[in-house]
Amino acid sequence: MDRKNYNRIKAAMAEKRVSQKYLAEKLGVTVGTVSTWCRNFKQPEVPTLFQIADVLNVEAASLLTAKQNLESL
């Protein structure tokens, strides 16, 4: 796996079957904002990262670590 293009938010969303639109609505941001996070163009601020973890029902650390196996989500 190419770590440079690996995105833990995108992977967690896929694992939880959550769309960018759903996450955007829950966070009160635009779909474009979520898209920039998923494409590694920008990263969310730390408080937003905790909100993302809450919406996806995952540990915030799982969105920060280099762990590639997301089976524990």
pLDDT band at 65 (very low <50, low <70, confident <90, very high): confident
Give the pLDDT confidence of 23-55 residue by residue, as tens digits: 999 999 999 999 999 999 999 999 999 999 999
Burial of 25 (0-12, 13-18, 19+ CB in 10 A): middle
Fold of 3-63: 434 Repressor (Amino-terminal Domain) (1.10.260)
pLDDT band at 66 (very low <50, low <70, confident <90, very high): low
Please report, rounded to a whole number, the percentage of residues in the chain having pLDDT higher than 70. Answer: 82
Q: Backbone phi, then psi, for 7, in 5-degree steps? A: -130, 115
Per domain, the residue ranges of the chain are: 3-63
Q: Backbone phi, then psi, for 63, in 5-degree steps? A: -90, -10
Nearest Cα neighbor of 73 from 65, 64, 62 is 62
